């Protein structure tokens, strides 16, 4: 039976995961305080997510789990801080995958994102969507494309940073739809969204987490979601694929990362502790409130493989579309 070894491996992995999740909290990870590095300023969605997770881990472990914000250098400051700390599992990183799979392609970093950093848990997913000013006459994607073509050289699109999927999506859509929207990068979503809501910039490719509250408040309109399936958070908004643009499929997941020097045994314990914390209903509710979508449990190997696939895909996009920082 050629498939028996694979089935046995899957079976053992599943049993190991169940056992790990059932372990007493004191055995799951550590009996010392934990430092959680976040590559974003306090108050943002990533910071809030990290603090919600830290609070639950504090309760589960019986030890302080403290968030330490280290914004800057496209996530490089937080990652370098983690890599400089002892590899004893007491310093971890909570971040979205773009700091590893997007930014290093266009910004010089002091680490190898595929060798020096190890993913241990995927907490939640955030999708990308195209939003625009409510003052735009266009109310759907086809009419938006027609409006841009009728105003050549006059309109622009914003991104939350050059070299990210918010930049990639705009360049791909320009080529596929024959538009000439000029790229205007910002240092984060909030200042860019202010310009879009004010009508100074026509549209923006933004993360669901930051745009969703503005859409719900009627301050932005959504044209399309960059995913294979419609988002349960905005079920009325079509996907780019539905509109004939299947290449527009982008998302990031937020999760926990450690130095690659952390032992496999310790990484597995952190993996189990994080997923145990994430299994609580109040965390699921808080994640949905923030605009994130929960993710199923994945092994460390699956996370690493997925990260590599995304890294390689983005490298190809940067090369094909001549993306510059």
Mean pLDDT throughout 174-181? 96
Q: Examine the pLDDT at 1 and tell me if it is beyond 50.
A: no
- Can you tell me the distance from the alpha carbon of 29 to that of 265, in angstroms, rounded to the nearest whole number? 10
Mean pLDDT throughout 262-290? 92
311: three-class secondary structure by DSSP: helix
Residue 187 is predicted with a pLDDT of 80
Contact between 50 and 42 under an 8 Å Cβ cutoff? The reply is: no
Q: Examine the pLDDT at 3 and tell me if it is beyond 70.
A: no
The pTM score is: 0.82
- Displacement of CA 151 from its chain's centroid (Å): 33
Contact between 49 and 284 under an 8 Å Cβ cutoff? The reply is: no
Q: What is the pLDDT of residues 244-261, one digit of tens each?
A: 999 999 988 999 999 999
Percentage of residues of the chain with pLDDT beyond 70? 91
CB atoms closer than 10 angstroms to residue 128:
24
Terminal Cα-to-Cα distance of the chain (whole angstroms) = 52
Task: Give CA separation, 313 vs 126, 253, 277, in Å.
Answer: 18, 15, 31
Q: Examine the pLDDT at 325 and tell me if it is beyond 70.
A: no
Q: What is the pLDDT of residues 38-61, one digit of tens each?
A: 998 887 778 889 999 999 999 999
- Can you tell me the distance from the alpha carbon of 193 to that of 131, in angstroms, rounded to the nearest whole number? 9
Mean pLDDT throughout 110-118? 96
CB atoms closer than 10 angstroms to residue 55:
16
**4-126+251-320: CATH class:** alpha beta
> Nearest-CA neighbor of 253 among 136, 123, 153, 152?
123
Q: What is the dihedral of CA 114, 119, 122, 128, to 10 degrees?
A: -20
128-225 and 4-126+251-320 share a CATH fold: yes
276: three-class secondary structure by DSSP: helix
Residue 293 is predicted with a pLDDT of 86
Residue 28 is predicted with a pLDDT of 59
Helix (H) or strand (E) holding 182: strand 182-185
Residue 50 is predicted with a pLDDT of 94
Residue 20 is predicted with a pLDDT of 43
Q: Kindly report the CATH number that applies to the domain delimited by 128-225.
A: 3.40.190.10
Contact between 158 and 201 under an 8 Å Cβ cutoff? The reply is: yes
Percentage of residues of the chain with pLDDT beyond 90? 74
DSSP secondary structure string for all residues of 66-124: EEEE---GGGHHHHHHHHHS-SSSSEEEEEETHHHHTGGGTS--SS-TTTTEEEEEEEE
Give domain limits for the chain.
Answer: 4-126+251-320, 128-225
Average pLDDT, the chain: 89
């Amino acid at each position: 039976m050629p498939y028996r070894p694979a089935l046995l491996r899957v079976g053992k992995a599943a049993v190991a995961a169940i056992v790990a999740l059932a372990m007493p909290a004191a055995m799951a990870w550590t009996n010392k305080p934990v430092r959680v590095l976040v590559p974003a300023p306090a108050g943002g969605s990533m910071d809030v997510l990290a603090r919600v997770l830290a609070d639950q881990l504090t309760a589960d472990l019986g030890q302080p789990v403290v968030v330490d914000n280290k914004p800057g250098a496209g996530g490089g400051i937080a990652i370098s801080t983690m890599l400089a700390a002892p590899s004893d599992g007491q310093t971890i990183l909570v971040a979205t995958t773009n700091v590893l799979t997007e930014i290093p392609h266009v910004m010089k970093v002091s680490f190898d994102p595929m060798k020096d950093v190890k993913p241990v848990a995927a907490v939640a997913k955030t999708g990308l969507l195209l939003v625009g000013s409510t003052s735009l006459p266009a109310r759907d994607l086809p009419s938006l494309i027609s409006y841009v073509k009728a105003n050549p050289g006059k309109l622009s699109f914003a991104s939350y940073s050059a070299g990210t999927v918010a930049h990639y999506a705009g360049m791909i859509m320009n080529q596929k739809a024959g538009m000439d929207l000029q790229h205007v990068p910002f240092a984060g979503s909030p200042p860019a969204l202010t310009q879009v809501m004010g009508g100074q910039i026509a549209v923006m490719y933004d993360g669901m987490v930051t745009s969703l509250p503005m859409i719900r408040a009627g301050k932005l309109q959504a044209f399309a979601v960059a995913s294979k399936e419609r988002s349960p958070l905005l079920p009325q908004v079509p996907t780019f694929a539905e509109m004939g643009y299947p290449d527009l499929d982008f998302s990031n997941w937020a999760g926990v990362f450690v130095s690659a020097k952390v032992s496999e045994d310790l990484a597995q314990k952190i993996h189990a502790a994080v997923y145990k914390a994430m299994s609580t209903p109040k965390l699921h509710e808080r994640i949905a409130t923030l605009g994130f979508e929960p993710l199923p449990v994945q092994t460390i190997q699956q996370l690493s493989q997925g990260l590599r696939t995304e890294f390689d895909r983005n490298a190809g996009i940067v090369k094909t579309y001549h993306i510059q920082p």
